[in-house]
Amino acid sequence: MSTKTTFKRIALVAVASLGFGVLTSVAPANAAALTSTTAAQSRTVLTGASSTVASVVFAGFEDAAADTIAVSAPTGPTGGTITFATVGGGAVVTTDSANVVTVGTAGTLREATNTGFGALADAATAKTVVATVSRPGTYTFTLGTSGTITIVARSLAYKTGDGAAVSPFSTGNGIAGPANTVTVTGHPTGATGVRALVTVTGSTISSGTNAAVIATGGASAVIASGATPTDLVIATPAVGTITVNLFNETGDATGIFGATAANTV
């Protein structure tokens, strides 16, 4: 008889399967503002992790000129930021000589080095856009007249176990055994003093980083407020189903957590 079982969330098996303001920039002479007709797209990412957030075809390259890309109508959680690392492999800066765009404030990406975004000869090639978002939530923006780009940043995600974590990070694998574990990572909203409660059914929390306060018996843990994610190690001793939920606190250290889970693994 097979020992493998498929489960809705984290599944354990005996051998294998575990179930807007505007910033105005002065561009260098001959610089081109790139345009794009790329359709809308969406990616799910880990909060605070460098991730591919879009693949966009741009037009209007000037080769040796310092081309620019408008980041328009950025929306997302209050206080959230989008830190761009590269477009098409080329490093970028914004109009403030950093590479950060704040929710609610449009920005302009500029090549850190000439032709960093790509050259006229390969203008038809899709450029990979790599960025990091600072807080959990849903972000939207456009790049050089592209369709709307949506980034969904999870507040709770499967991180490690039996196999690597892959988007959308809502399920994972592990191996059942007395000393075996999986790890999930939790991230509060980022608002001042607001913590998060992580609950587990079907198992217990063994340990946590970032001074997580684990309840007696390990059925739940409170993770600290701030920008640092918390890793929680969850025991996987036997075949079964594990479900993990994250609930955000209603305010600064109120001790009251929402009735609806922000994310589930």
Distance CA 108, CA 100 (A): 10
Peptide bond before residue 168 is cis, with ω within 30 degrees of 0: yes
Burial class (CB in 10 A: 0-12, 13-18, 19+), 22: exposed
Those residues with Cβ within 8 angstroms of residue 79's Cβ, 6 or more apart along the chain or in another chain: 103, 134, 135, 190, 191
Kindly list the domain boundaries of the chain, sorted by start residue.
Answer: 10-18+171-264, 41-153
CA atoms within 13 A on the CB side of 206: 12
**In Å, what is the CA distance from 40 to each residue of 87, 142, 179?**
17, 9, 45
What is the mean pLDDT of the segment spanning 213-217?
Answer: 97
What is the mean pLDDT of the segment spanning 14-18?
Answer: 36
Full-model pTM: 0.84
What is the mean pLDDT of the segment spanning 120-142?
Answer: 91
The pLDDT score that the predictor gives to residue 31 is: 66
3-state per-residue secondary structure call for 216-264: CCCCEEEECCCCCCEEEEEECCCCEEEEEEEEEECCCCCCCECCCCCEE
What is the phi-psi region of residue 154: left when phi exceeds 0, alpha when psi lies from -120 to 50, beta otherwise? Answer: beta
The pLDDT score that the predictor gives to residue 65 is: 61
CATH number of 10-18+171-264: 2.60.40
With cut-offs at 50, 70 and 90, classify the pLDDT of residue 247.
very high
Q: How many whole angstroms from its chain centre is CA 144?
A: 22
pLDDT for residue 109 is more than 80: yes
**Given the structure tokens 């790599």, which residue do they identify?**
130
What is the mean pLDDT of the segment spanning 2-20?
Answer: 39
What is the mean pLDDT of the segment spanning 220-240?
Answer: 94
What is the mean pLDDT of the segment spanning 30-55?
Answer: 92
The pLDDT score that the predictor gives to residue 180 is: 94
Residue 243 token pair: 């479900």
Q: What is the dihedral of CA 67, 73, 74, 75, to 10 degrees?
A: -170
Q: What is the pLDDT of residues 188-208, one digit of tens each?
A: 999 999 999 999 999 999 999
Window from 65-69, 128-132, 260-264 with minimum mean pLDDT: 65-69
Mean pLDDT, the chain, rounded, equals 86
Q: CB count, 10 Å around CB of 191? A: 17
Residue 18 near residue 172, CB atoms below 8 Å: yes
Q: What percent of the chain has pLDDT over 70?
A: 85
Distance CA 219, CA 226 (A): 23
Residue 63 token pair: 């080769």
The pLDDT score that the predictor gives to residue 4 is: 35
The pLDDT score that the predictor gives to residue 161 is: 82
With cut-offs at 50, 70 and 90, classify the pLDDT of residue 24.
very low
Residue 55 near residue 131, CB atoms below 8 Å: no
